[in-house]
């Protein structure tokens, strides 16, 4: 297993996908954290927080537009955020965390639990076929 993934507590691997639990949602405001489940963004942000980064609690299109807490980068490094969609529009994009060598940790409805996919796995699926881009969180906790 990748050293980065090995440092992720076991509780992260059993988080259920719950689409209504996104950053800023009433469900998350009432019960923060991952125990009650998460969508892809909330999961990715909590992974980064575990590694002492401070991602903003933004939806995907806001994340893509953000220039204060994140920066667009041409080449991914471990713990960068990777955005995918069916089109080149960041609105509603799927968010994952770059692990290494073309591998992305993410939480999606299709699997229902966190999983690591190669980039080719995203390209095979219509809803993830377009790589919107890569964002690096620049703030640490």
Distances 123 to 17, 18, 59 between C-alpha atoms, Å? 21, 23, 22
Nearest to 89 by CA among 119, 58, 64, 117: 64
- Taking only the tens of pLDDT, the chain with its 141 residues reads 688 899 999 999 999 999 999 999 999 999 999 999 999 999 999 999 999 999 999 999 999 999 999 999 999 999 999 999 999 999 999 999 999 999 999 999 999 999 999 999 999 999 999 999 999 999 898
Q: Alpha helices of 73-140 — where are they, by DSSP H? A: 119-123
Domain 3-137 top-level CATH class: alpha beta
Q: Looking at the chain, how many residues does it have?
A: 141
Is the model's pTM score more than 0.75? Answer: yes
Locate the domains of the chain by residue range.
3-137
């Amino acid at each position: 297993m990748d050293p980065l993934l090995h440092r992720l507590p076991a509780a992260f691997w059993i988080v259920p996908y719950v689409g209504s639990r996104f950053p800023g949602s009433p469900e998350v405001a009432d019960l923060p954290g991952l125990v009650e489940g998460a969508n892809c963004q909330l999961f990715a942000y909590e992974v980064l927080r575990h590694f002492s980064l401070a991602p903003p609690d933004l939806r995907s299109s806001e994340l893509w537009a953000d220039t204060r807490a994140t920066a667009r980068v041409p080449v991914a490094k471990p713990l960068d955020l990777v955005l995918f969609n069916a089109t080149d529009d960041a609105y509603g994009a799927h968010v994952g965390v770059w692990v290494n060598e073309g591998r992305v940790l993410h939480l999606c409805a299709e699997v229902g639990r966190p999983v690591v996919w190669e980039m080719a796995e995203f390209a095979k699926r219509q809803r993830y076929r377009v790589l919107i881009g890569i964002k690096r969180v620049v703030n640490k906790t």
